[in-house]
A and B are shown apart, each in its own frame.
Chain A
Amino acid sequence: MKSNLYGFLFGMWILILLGGGIMVTILGPFTIQQFGEFHWMLASGIKVLIALVLVVIWILILLKLKNWIFRKEIKF
């Protein structure tokens, strides 16, 4: 059981690293220019939306990972 917990910790760490990569490569360079002075506001709004979608995907992957790693133990 304890080794599974270390595996889950490590899996979470890898997901954090990968999530960071997606944040930097997708969210970082994202800009909108054709809306005058408000372009930064619109870009920020879209960035927030993308980030929320990424967080939801991250949680869903984590749930799958949890169920897979602890499939024998979680019979509660």
Chain B
Amino acid sequence: MTELIIPAIVSCFVAFFLVFVMTPPLIKFLEKRNMVVKDMNKKEDVMVARPGGLALIVGIIASEMILYAFLQMNEILAIIITTSAAFAIGYVDDRKVMGGWFKPVALALAAIPIIALGAYNSDLAFPIFGVVQIPVLYLALIIFMIPITGNTINSIDVLNGVASGFMVIASFSLSICLFIVQNYEIAIVSLPLGFISLAFYKYHKIPSKIFPGDSGALTLGAMYGAIAIVGGVEIIAAVALLPAVINSFLFLSSVKKIVEHRQIKGKPVDHTDDFRLRATSDKSAPITLVRLILAGGPLSEKQVGYAIFKLAIFSGILAIITAFLMGVTF
């Protein structure tokens, strides 16, 4: 355990520092090339640089390579390859509008390195009841997990700072859970994700100077999913991600098909005269987490963001309770 302290400190420092230092020049670079989009929740015409995924993937690769140099684990290689593939998929989607099925199918392929490198344990651990051995079914779970976590984080990237802030809470909760279940090496491997998200949040928080884009959101989500698989904490990871899962569930159950957000015609949320967010009564619009939060009345973008963070903290606590319950059997 003590031999892991130095790699942990070095990788976390590199992860945070690289993203923190790289993002401002990336913003300037994107603005120079007119790679900006309108912030739809601002009264004035505010243009924001996008995508910020490049800073995130550089931070992830550098910090995880440092950990690989110390620990020489296939699990780290699997995380790096899967996350890099997710970044590439997201970047393609940032540059060119792809169909609704592109991301889920491509992200399923991005999960293959985890299987190829054997960086998984096919025993699925549940709290209280114990472990179930499902060797064939588990392969399907791996293939489904990366598209689900990737798209789930992508779907919650709707307001300034929400995707990165949510990821800070979810990933640190997951790291704590990995320590609780005594999977110390993967706990250390998971820490850079929290620090990368934290550094990016500095520029993504309201008022955003940069948006992660699909490349950033898929990078964060895919890395989270990959950590859950290689760490054998799939159920705990799902619990920590519940608010984002609810968002996807509400969306899919109201739209009833896999479709890109931009293809939806109805608007779930619009603005009041003072530009606060307000739930619409449009029956053709999807039900989303933000729309449900706003059902009680209009709120500012910042207030909605904080409401989502509180839900993330609540599910993070449930995840930690779940981790403690992993050791409990009746």
| Interface of A toward B, CB cutoff 8 Å | 1-2, 4-6, 8-10, 12-13, 16-17, 20-21, 23-25, 27-28, 41, 44-45, 47-48, 51, 62-63, 66, 70, 73-76
B interface, how many residues as a size bin? 35 or more
Of the listed stretches B42-50, B61-69, B169-177, B292-300, name the one at the interface; the rest are far from the partner chain.
B292-300
Residues on A with C-beta less than 8 A from B253 are 63, 66
Q: Is B116 an interface residue (CB 8 A)?
A: no
What are the 4 A-B residue pairs with the smallest beta carbon separation, nearest first?
Answer: A20-B126, A44-B136, A1-B296, A24-B129
28 A-B pairs in the complex with CB atoms less than 8 angstroms apart: A1-B293, A1-B295, A1-B296, A2-B310, A5-B292, A5-B311, A9-B242, A9-B314, A9-B318, A12-B245, A13-B242, A16-B238, A16-B239, A17-B127, A21-B128, A23-B124, A23-B129, A28-B131, A45-B136, A48-B137, A66-B249, A70-B295, A74-B287, A74-B292, A76-B280, A76-B283, A76-B285, A76-B287
| Interface of B toward A, CB cutoff 8 Å | 124, 126-137, 140, 235, 238-239, 242-243, 245-246, 249-250, 253, 268, 279-283, 285, 287, 289, 291-293, 295-296, 307, 310-311, 314-315, 318, 322, 325
Interface-central residue, B130, B292, B322, by most chain A CB under 10 Å: B292
Q: Give chain A nearest CB distance to B93 CB in angstroms.
A: 27
Q: Is the CB of A12 within 8 A of B242?
A: yes
Q: Is the CB of A28 within 8 A of B243?
A: no
With A44-B135, A47-B136, A73-B295 in contact, do A6 and B314 touch (Cβ < 8 Å)? yes
Q: Give chain B nearest CB distance to A44 CB in angstroms.
A: 4
Q: Is the CB of B238 within 8 A of A75?
A: no
Q: Is the CB of B126 within 8 A of A9?
A: no
Residues on A with C-beta less than 8 A from B132 are 23-24, 27-28
Q: Is the CB of B311 within 8 A of A9?
A: yes
Which one of A1, A12, A63 lies within 8 Å of B292 (CB-CB)?
A1
Q: Give chain A nearest CB distance to B179 CB in angstroms.
A: 21
Q: Is the CB of B281 within 8 A of A76?
A: yes
Rounded to whole angstroms, the CA-CA distance of A51 and B293 in the bound complex is 33
Q: Is the CB of A76 within 8 A of B129?
A: no
Known: A1-B296, A2-B293. 10 other contacts (CB 8 A): A9-B243, A12-B242, A13-B242, A16-B238, A20-B128, A20-B129, A20-B235, A21-B128, A63-B253, A75-B281
Q: Is the CB of B130 within 8 A of A24?
A: yes
Q: Give chain B nearest CB distance to A53 CB in angstroms.
A: 13
Residue of B nearest to A50 (CB): B137
